[in-house]
Structure 1
Amino acid sequence: MVGLDISVPAQAALAWAANQARLTGQDLMAVHAVFPWGTYLAAGGFVPVTMPSDAVQDHQRDMIEKLFASVGPEPTWKLQFVGDDPGPALVAASRGASMLVIGTREHTGWGRVLSGSVSHHCLSHAHCPVLAVPVERPARAGRSAAAASATSHA
């Protein structure tokens, strides 16, 4: 099973999961979970927000379907859309899965407070082993190539 959204980390997770499923002869379930539109949890409680148009929702669904198709899914592989908070949705879907594959993002500070960490939630609560796929990131400015190389081989 793999968590899928349009982010680069999720695409890396999908590629890894597809390759692993082919190597092991397993089926693959990709799950795209999105918190239901219409409310947003804010400091003071739930706040109504404008729902995106049907065209926007259709475009998002189309993008996810194209990402899934990009790995050349086998006929038995499935893509599931869930209207729920992504962390709990992936944990619920992990029941009966042999592995949950997720991408990792670099939310820090307020970004993590506001959006939470789906990967952390899954690592803490999933019903199966979880593999978090990192994404290759360019070395930070100011770090020497040797220092970046030493860190990546440690």
Structure 2
Amino acid sequence: MSDPVVVGVDGSTSSFDAVDVAAREARLRGAPLRIVHAFGHPSGPLPPGATPWSPAGHTLEPMVRGQLVRAEEQAHAAAPGIEITRSVVAGDAVEVLEIESRSAALTVVGSRGLTGFSGLLLGSTAVHLAAHGHCPLMVVRGRPDPSGPVLLAVEGSPAGEAAVDFAFAEAALRGAPLVALHVWNTWSERAYEGPGDPLTAVVADTEHLREAEQHLLDRVVADRQAAYPQVTVDRRLVRSRVRAALIEASRTAQLVIAGARGRGGFTGLLLGSASQALLHHADCPVTVVRGKE
């Protein structure tokens, strides 16, 4: 049996939006759908005077008969005929879904949960799974254009190779064109290497830099094009601010795919600034694919 698509449900509107998308993703892959609800107190230190959470005195029956039944019915309506399992697990949502991701083809969550703080654009579960999950993470947000392309954020680092592979496979699976977008500017040619090293240097020879960035984009695409001849690829080299250009391009896409880290990431960061910006502001669902660090 193929690995399941796992979707986290917490009763929020955002999580039920994720159920619809996850069901369609499962049907697309010919995979089962696993609906998971984490039932318990969040991990971490408790506030002073708070009583430690215990499953004693809590009944799972309303949860199973309520949220999960609704989620399963909604999934069947979105993708009739898919195999569905559901599970209520005692534990923190972040920890439970991270464990579930170890045996999943894809983990899907909403952009916000019931426990999110007012004013935050992205829930803590999504942020954590994007940085620590063991399979690609799709965060459902925005209004995707079902006729739009799959958008790949090309950045050229070894850690981003997994995102490129995933994007080509997704475009082939959906029968959609792929937009390979590489954004560059005169501050993007060097990464920070530690104390005493300037972040970047202004490049006087912008034409030479543009040619180098075009070569990077061409190489990334050519390496996969032979394996996916059915995928039409639009190579776009754009000189702009990286985050602004990616968010703008997401407005006409059905899905945007990015690596967890980019070339300009600081050592020790698990989630790059571009992928964070997309998770917070993209106008369509975002899939973050972690590669080998």
Q: Answer whether TM exceeds 0.5 for this pair.
A: yes
| 1:57-76 to 2 correspondences below 5 Å | 57-63=60-66, 64-72=68-76, 74=81, 76=83
Distance change (3 Å), C-alpha of 1:49 and 1:4: closer
CA RMSD of aligned residues (A): 3.4
> What is residue 120 of structure 1 aligned with on the other side?
127
TM-score by length of 1: 0.70
Contact between 1:88 and 1:121, CA under 8 Å: does it hold in 2? no
> What is residue 251 of structure 2 aligned with on the other side?
153
Contiguous gaps of at least 5 residues in structure 1: 137-149
Moved segments of 4+, more than 6 Å: none
**Alignment-mate amino acid for residue 19 of structure 2:** L
Of 27, 32, 35, which aligns to 2:32? 27
CA distance in 2, matches of 1:153, 1:135: 9
Contact between 2:23 and 2:33, CA under 8 Å: does it hold in 1? yes
Residues 1:16 and 2:21 are matched in the alignment: yes
Whichever of the two has the greater Rg, that structure is 2
Contact between 2:19 and 2:74, CA under 8 Å: does it hold in 1? no
**Alignment-mate amino acid for residue 125 of structure 2:** V
Q: CA deviation at 1:94?
A: 0.6
Q: CA deviation at 1:118?
A: 1.2
> What is residue 91 of structure 2 aligned with on the other side?
84
3-state SS, counterpart of residue 47 of structure 1? coil
Greater relative contact order (CA < 8 Å, ≥ 6 in sequence): 1
**Alignment-mate amino acid for residue 67 of structure 1:** A
Contiguous gaps of at least 5 residues in structure 2: 1-5, 144-247, 253-293
> What is residue 2 of structure 1 aligned with on the other side?
7
**Alignment-mate amino acid for residue 66 of structure 1:** R
CA distance in 2, matches of 1:16, 1:75: 13
